[in-house]
Structure 1
């Protein structure tokens, strides 16, 4: 399954537990996944073998499992998600997020007072527990409040105040108006490395330009695909997958409304008819040569070769 990077047998097995191959989230779950993608993008400067360090996903209507590619990246991800309070600054992480349980294969997170479930898998249970211990020690050394550890069943006063101030402003409202897009992208994140033949995929949340189609005030989910010089961009195939009527998102080709971008072959924009979110794609040949010598070199090389060799005939499986 190109969208989730599950094997045929894995997808078939999961289909017995869910009503469709690629269900979308709704309500609280959709909101949580929007915040999760936001935090994953904060780790964008870390070189990873897969998109944002997520090797594959398992989407269900009421939960999402992210398979993290390595122990090191698992530490960065959990550290980015768990809420901590710096008394001199702000609450970092996702407000209300707590660890619900550890199992032999994963750790489950949820948001207090919300119907949510996020599973982080990949490393064994011992690694996730060690990561939490290390995160707790680091937080205390910094003089910060380990909110997720100290208050397991209720929001802290600092969380409530921070949430009321920073999760309800105009930016946050625009973020949640496009939650369907963020959650949908997170559930289809492997597309960028199963189809996109880039060495490195990173991203960020872009503010409106105030010009062209961005006058709608929608936030932009921006992805940079850095390729090695000899590998062709898979622009058309990636856009076809992202907009597929059966498995993709309700996105369509959308002009930037800015001549220099609309005429650039390396820039593509997708948006919805209601103008609640944009997906900006930037293709380039800026993949650092160090990636081909680093610890991810073999995995990246194999992945890029496989994506570049896929048939031109489109199939989601």
Structure 2
């Protein structure tokens, strides 16, 4: 009887959402090229369970940890035998990139386990309201204010990425240019008004400028240039911005930014602060008009759990 209890407990420990995420994290770290991991996830997502081990075997040959293949075979065997576990496995798989960002924000294994439980990754029938309530309880009761703010930033970036097509490079650069999580989140939410409420870009910029100049005016000149670069669709010289960010950290830590740096170091940039080329503006209007997402919580600072790929697929079927 005791042996059976120990076996059941061991199986339970290896089939929790946190254990599944732990496997994916370990496998990712064992690969030299992160593109291999992305391809592995894509293959796992589209391949039937009975064929998946054979299809992903080449990725494990590139892994520095040979034991991970055995662990993966056990996971797949359990998924073949238990449809509920298969659903949990695929839900974690779908959300793996987002979960990586959450783990960095939480910086604590216990909190990460609690987050996965709050999001009910092992309960495919959980309603949106149940997940939302669990998430709010987790943030309010288990996270300190600093950790909660980092989580708010992760969710704000996820929404901005989904709605505006902003990639991680753009978001990271903007975050470091601003240097303040609360202000950065406000800026991301304001940018989305261009889509949600069809607010003209100039009006969006004016709102952001007023907010920034009230709270951190020294960051506005370079942030304005960056936002215009993103909006225009021009190729962004990230080295330019990161050189500037590094310059500020090294030479102006906790002090007013030297705006003259822009002119002294990049006199040939030919940036025009308030004018837009007509054809670029027309192109952007078309680009942003293609995205028209409505939100019941416009104007409210409510943290919504991000959708997994599985949830998005279900939503598309309903539509």
TM-score scaled by structure 2? 0.28
Select the structure with the greater relative contact order (CA < 8 A; seq sep ≥ 6): 1
> Which structure shows the higher strand fraction?
1
> Which structure shows the higher helix fraction?
2
Larger C-alpha radius of gyration, 1 or 2? Answer: 2
